[in-house]
């Protein structure tokens, strides 16, 4: 008896958490993926600075988040595979394909409810924030939202439209 041997390389690549969890924590190498998960509507933390792998894993678990990481070493921690998704792809499109496959991501879950920068749910923009909208989009003022933390202003302009088209493509399993 005793501790089981660390899993081999092939096992590590397969390690993934059970489906159904919809709260995530991306490691600092996956900031772009984390922001896209926020854009789709998922509550997604992004680890800014790495402490130990164990501290990162425990923080994600304490917050009931699946840890999404590119760091194989995390999976050397006992039972880490139950709450960790290891990505092996190179670049955003491959990561998107992997998370879609292994976490059943719905890219149109509830688009644009959260601040892309800090994850806070957005609120209707107050008048003083709406006054800062560029003149060319002033007709969208009623639809403007903002982040109470960052004070970043969001409005449904061409940038959001482009992001939405990308989410729609990913939802159709088009990752090219
Ligand atoms: Zn924010």
Residue span of the structural domain in which 155 resides: 123-171
Q: How far is the CA of 171 from the centre of ligand 1 (A)?
A: 25
Q: How far is the CA of 115 from the centre of ligand 1 (A)?
A: 5
Q: How far is the CA of 121 from the centre of ligand 1 (A)?
A: 8
pLDDT for 138 equals: 85
Q: Confirm whether 113 is domain-assigned.
A: no
Q: How far is the CA of 129 from the centre of ligand 1 (A)?
A: 14
Tell me: do 98 and 46 sit in the same domain: yes
Residue whose token pair is 């449904």: 156
Model confidence over 89-142: pLDDT tens digits? Answer: 999 999 999 999 999 999 999 999 999 999 999 999 999 999 888 888 888 888
Q: Confirm whether 114 is domain-assigned.
A: no
Tell me: do 17 and 90 sit in the same domain: yes
Q: Confirm whether 110 is domain-assigned.
A: no
Domain count, the chain: 2
Q: How far is the CA of 120 from the centre of ligand 1 (A)?
A: 6
62: CB partners within 8 A, 6+ apart: none
Output the CA angle 167-172-88, nearest 5 degrees. Answer: 75
Model confidence over 54-100: pLDDT tens digits? Answer: 999 999 999 999 999 999 999 899 888 889 999 999 999 999 999 99
End of a domain among 53, 69, 103? 103
């Amino acid at each position: 008896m005793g501790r089981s041997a660390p899993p081999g390389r092939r096992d590590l690549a397969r390690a993934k958490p059970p489906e159904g969890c919809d709260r995530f924590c991306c490691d600092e190498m996956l900031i772009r993926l984390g922001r896209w998960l926020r854009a789709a509507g998922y509550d997604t933390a992004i680890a800014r600075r790495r402490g130990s792998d164990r501290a990162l894993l425990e923080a994600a678990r304490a917050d009931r988040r699946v840890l999404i990481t590119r760091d194989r070493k995390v999976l050397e921690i006992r039972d880490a595979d139950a709450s960790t998704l290891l990505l092996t792809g190179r670049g955003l499109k491959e990561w998107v394909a992997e998370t879609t496959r292994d976490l059943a991501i719905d890219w149109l879950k509830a688009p644009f409810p959260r601040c892309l920068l800090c994850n806070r749910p957005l609120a209707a923009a107050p008048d003083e924030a709406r006054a800062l909208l560029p003149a060319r989009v002033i007709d969208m003022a009623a639809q403007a939202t903002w982040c109470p933390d960052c004070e970043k202003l969001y409005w449904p302009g061409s940038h959001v439209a482009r992001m939405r088209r990308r989410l729609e493509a990913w939802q159709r399993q088009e990752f090219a």
